[in-house]
Structure 1
Amino acid sequence: MLNEVGNSLLAYSDLFLVHCPKCNSCSKIFTPINALGRGEARVLGHESKRFLCEKCGFVKDIHPKRQWDGLWSFNFELFDEKQGVDWYFGFPLYLQTQCCGHTIWFFNFEHLTDIEEYIQKNIRPAQLYYLSIESRLPKWMKLSKNRKEILKAIDRLKQRT
């Protein structure tokens, strides 16, 4: 999946696991099938999104608007991914915990698995693409001295669901 969108965080934006604001359980934010309508080009990150809590039944949708230039976008800036919230509703990510004095977070299990594989590598090839997930990881996550602690935190998150 990473090669499709330049190995960036956008590759994981079709599914966010978040805390439900009503019952605090693990819920999903996802892209409904055919989110923009028949025949519309798909632009990752600028599609309708649906929040769904299967435990309490809370559902919420958000839709982009067509701009004057024919492109789809939201009427607001997407949330800053560094804050540990989803980009669309601002709900806290479900897969986050404290590690090495910092908060470590993941959008979904695929994101978690890809970062885990990177952290486990003893020799990490340098990525030339400046938006790659690996190049955007904070320095403390890349240090080998923190590897065991980060992998323990990832294991704790895997056990949550």
Structure 2
Amino acid sequence: MTDRHTDHGAPLARFAGAILVVCPRCGGRATVAQRPGLPELRYAMELLFRPRRLVCAGCGATDDWEAERRGSALIGVTLGGTEDPYFGRPLWLQVRCAGHVLWAYDADHVDALAAYVGARLRERGPASPTTAMVPRLPRWMTAADRRTEVLAALAALRAQAARTSPEDRSDVAHERADRPRPRRSSYHRGGPY
């Protein structure tokens, strides 16, 4: 736990580079990442539109995703929730906490959440709260009286990130028809809409 945390406005997309998910074939840990060989990112938000590949090191399962095209527009994904936005797979990193489900995309995401939740003094930087992850965290997660409980759950997620077998899967990381996310991000080649 630290005394101070300054939010520099990192968007949730910053943690969507490699998302740990439940494998559709074996139920172990798989990873959803950018396809290899793509040019360097200029902005984290580009991850919403980039081609992805799901790969399971345990059973060898693979799958590919590409953004939908409508005319000259690319229709990307909307981040957030207990399923990965590309393939709809349950996130590997989920745990029950304070009557809710606490989730993260990967170990870096867990560490960023723990740094904020564990800080006694939380400062916001100049970034816009509409794109920054920290200002959008739910109140139950950031409340001082829940700090110990949330930090314990984040420690459990950190340990979960290192596990890979189907038997290690969290009891909340299961198949469920989570509500569809009707809104998608879009990018028009001539510029944003």
User: Scaled by the length of structure 1, what TM-score is found?
Assistant: 0.83
Deviations 1:12-56 (A, max 9, x none): 121100011211111100002334xx7997723101000000101
Which runs of 5 or more structure 1 residues have no equivalent in the other structure?
Answer: none
Query: Any residues of structure 2 matched to 1:7-86 within 5 Å, and which?
Result: 7-35=10-38, 43-65=46-68, 67-69=70-72, 71-74=73-76, 78=77, 81-82=80-81, 84-86=82-84
Partner of 1:113: 111
- Tell me the distance in 1 between the aligned counterparts of 2:40 and 2:75: 17
Total equivalences in the alignment: 151
Which runs of 5 or more structure 2 residues have no equivalent in the other structure?
Answer: 1-6, 163-193
What percent identity do the matched residue pairs reach? 26
* Distance 1:65-1:142 versus aligned 2 partners, 3 A rule: closer
User: Scaled by the length of structure 2, what TM-score is found?
Assistant: 0.70
> Do the aligned partners of 1:127 and 1:135 also contact (CA within 8 Å) in 2?
no
Please identify runs of 4+ aligned residues in structure 1 that moved more than 4 A.
38-42
> What is the CA RMSD across the aligned residues, in angstroms?
2.4
> Do the aligned partners of 2:13 and 2:79 also contact (CA within 8 Å) in 1?
no
The structural deviation recorded for 1:67 is 4.8
The structural deviation recorded for 1:133 is 1.1
